[in-house]
Structure 1
């Protein structure tokens, strides 16, 4: 059983570790400078801790993330969970992974970008589809084979950085000067992994069930242990590649973490550094895409009854078509939608752990989610570029609004209002 926990933990690491996770820590490192350790501690709190809590929250219920959202209302559970799966699946998450893999692993070596994007995504999604065909094999294929290769490439890059990079650490910039921990905390929240974990939870649970874990208590414990393995791996990698960023401040200016890593790989290994980084990016994006395709297939098969194989074919084709629109187009549309979804997902996760405290009252769920959704909807529309000066003048008075957490206090107020109104308990699930 210990081997299964480690293998599933490795699989979960690979599913979480997409290209975005590789890019954020170096940017944090170069911006936080001498305040790096406080900043990365905050980043790990939300970039690692929150997704692992979300996986644990899904393990508390009998089926999948929909059961968490059903505590608000069954119709809300169906609509919101479907939106989550579509957003991190075929609409945004999977196409973005493929586009990032192309831009960082292939595009630097060629000038024929448009044609090669088509060829690359064709091969990429054919492989994703075939690996996703048999969900019961995903643990073996990713946990035992792909993750070790991914980890080895990351270790090579990090060891080279520790030994060969000797740039001076500079003074922190921006908000890292005054509040490095909380600035890193918000950056970790923006990785969006908590949403992905709602989808990946069903894969982890099914993987343990396939290995004979039948009782609910053992399932929760096994999931938490696998999450600990994943958390240790993610923390080690984030800390290492973030530290590389601190050593790159005197090399030049960079527009994003990808540029920092590319420059670091070149400084450490010369021309072969681009190959090593390309392997890391391609594997990270591939494993994440497979996990998202499988999760979408299992979820939509359950709620529609349509064949799993047909669903993953549709998810793969849709992802393929959207990926060929290019990374900038995907990101410009996805950010507003994810800005709306993410706070609601966080509040649902927190309420799951507080379920017994307030007796599972539906009014607590509804009050907290309603207030959260109101602010999140404004944030999402603002990201789309919709100007709402009257609403903005009100929203700007919310605590933490300036750092993207304007929904926090309204969520607490809504939950407390529901608690004091003493609504009837929601359908309880075993803990």
Structure 2
């Protein structure tokens, strides 16, 4: 395995992470945080870059990826939770969402189209290209890391460099929660990129790619994955800060509803009539690479747990499901997926952190079970709140916990439960190897 292979694996990983959601969150953060941009983007980088990197390493250090991490709670839990992760961020959410965002913020910036038929035609073309790239997993690094990622980075660089040259470095006052708690608000915004969950799927893509390029030993795979994660993380950090800065300094004559509008207007201001084409190309490439990564991860995962169905057949299945769900429309997809995502995301973060901690300091089943149990209570509450079910008794009990109002009330209780479980495991002298 050469340094070149590790470099292209890192570029591939960057592209897999960098979907449309990652593209549109930082500019809005920059706009709303204003003079408090520094602490806000720092919080965003912790959850948008550091946590996904930790998840990648947790997968690399485990024997059987996500399933083996979940097995430390319970074997049935490990399998079921892994399936839920792959289906939620894959066929039922991540894949169709990326396709719809590519249509809404990419193609419609270039061509004036509307209606269900236009979406159908676009999705057929989009998933046709995705299917072709995903067919041979051994060429994923070559097709994404060596081709699509450099194009994406070049187009982004054109936008950012032009912005540095033309926009004045004048920030407006902070707004909303960015006034009183910019770091926490930025932390939450990065949390909702869902990259820490996606990393649980992408980790195995990187590992398999390194194996295909010649990595054989466990230590070589871990080292290669570490450096690929560093490359991807540095790339994401630079892009996030740059896009956030564009939102911070863009002229404020127009009211912006979201980050997509900020980048659209910025593209028009910086490149006149070619702005829409430039932004549309950025979004479409970002969504395409994310879709390829998710389909590859899902197909490989299900091929491993049920190998009687060929990898290519799984690719076709997930492409077909993504195509069908995509045509429900973006609003419907988001409304159906949010309750599931707010449930799995906190549990995923807890499993990642415990897995890394256990690798260096030990820990047994009680550490995992108690912390996951406590986290699940808060996660279930968030699901009920999202679907409109109010449980006042539960609200009164949980609302006293720090950061509850930000949807992060699970953090301190999960930490305490993990410490108690760790103490019990040490007393019983139980520890996972």
TM score, norm. by length of structure 1: 0.96
Between the aligned partners of 1:425 and 1:200, the Cα distance in structure 2 is 31
Aligned 8 A contact 1:56 1:220 in 2: yes
1:328-374 per-residue CA deviation (whole Å, 9 max, x = no partner) reads 11111111111000000000010011105663310110000011011
Secondary structure of 1:354's counterpart equals: helix
State the partner residue of 1:61: 62
Match of 1:191 among 193, 197, 201: 193
The aligned runs of 1:107-186 (5 Å cut-off) are 107-108=108-109, 109-166=111-168, 168-186=170-188
Between the aligned partners of 1:403 and 1:167, the Cα distance in structure 2 is 31
1:342 to 2:353 alignment: no
Aligned 8 A contact 1:12 1:204 in 2: yes
How far is the alpha carbon of 1:3 from its aligned partner? 0.7
The range that moved more, 55-64 or 175-184, is 175-184
How far is the alpha carbon of 1:270 from its aligned partner? 1.2
Match of 1:372 among 362, 375, 380: 375
The aligned runs of 1:4-403 (5 Å cut-off) are 4-108=5-109, 109-166=111-168, 168-248=170-250, 250-305=252-307, 306-356=309-359, 359-403=362-406
The range that moved more, 378-387 or 321-330, is 378-387
Between the aligned partners of 1:114 and 1:336, the Cα distance in structure 2 is 26
Match of 2:416 among 388, 413, 417: 413
Between the aligned partners of 1:316 and 1:141, the Cα distance in structure 2 is 18
Aligned 8 A contact 1:363 1:424 in 2: no
Secondary structure of 1:270's counterpart equals: helix
1:272-328 per-residue CA deviation (whole Å, 9 max, x = no partner) reads 011010010000000000000000000001111221111111111111111101111
The range that moved more, 239-248 or 164-173, is 164-173
1:98-126 per-residue CA deviation (whole Å, 9 max, x = no partner) reads 00000011224324332210100011111
Between the aligned partners of 2:162 and 2:362, the Cα distance in structure 1 is 53
The range that moved more, 45-54 or 62-71, is 62-71
Is there any run of 5+ residues in structure 1 with no aligned partner, and where?
A: none
Aligned 8 A contact 2:107 2:284 in 1: no
Q: 1:356 to 1:225 in 2, by over 3 A?
A: closer
1:136-160 per-residue CA deviation (whole Å, 9 max, x = no partner) reads 1000000000000000000011111
TM score, norm. by length of structure 2: 0.96
Between the aligned partners of 2:138 and 2:48, the Cα distance in structure 1 is 28
Between the aligned partners of 1:419 and 1:55, the Cα distance in structure 2 is 23
Between the aligned partners of 1:158 and 1:272, the Cα distance in structure 2 is 15
The range that moved more, 355-364 or 366-375, is 355-364
Between the aligned partners of 1:62 and 1:322, the Cα distance in structure 2 is 33
Is there any run of 5+ residues in structure 2 with no aligned partner, and where?
A: none
The range that moved more, 353-362 or 402-411, is 353-362
Aligned 8 A contact 2:363 2:422 in 1: no
Between the aligned partners of 1:336 and 1:249, the Cα distance in structure 2 is 36
How far is the alpha carbon of 1:222 from its aligned partner? 1.2
Secondary structure of 1:250's counterpart equals: coil
The range that moved more, 245-254 or 307-316, is 245-254
Q: Which runs of 4+ in 1 moved over 3 A?
A: 423-427
Between the aligned partners of 2:64 and 2:58, the Cα distance in structure 1 is 11
How far is the alpha carbon of 1:182 from its aligned partner? 2.3
The range that moved more, 177-186 or 131-140, is 177-186
1:250-286 per-residue CA deviation (whole Å, 9 max, x = no partner) reads 1321111111111111111112011010010000000
How far is the alpha carbon of 1:419 from its aligned partner? 2.3
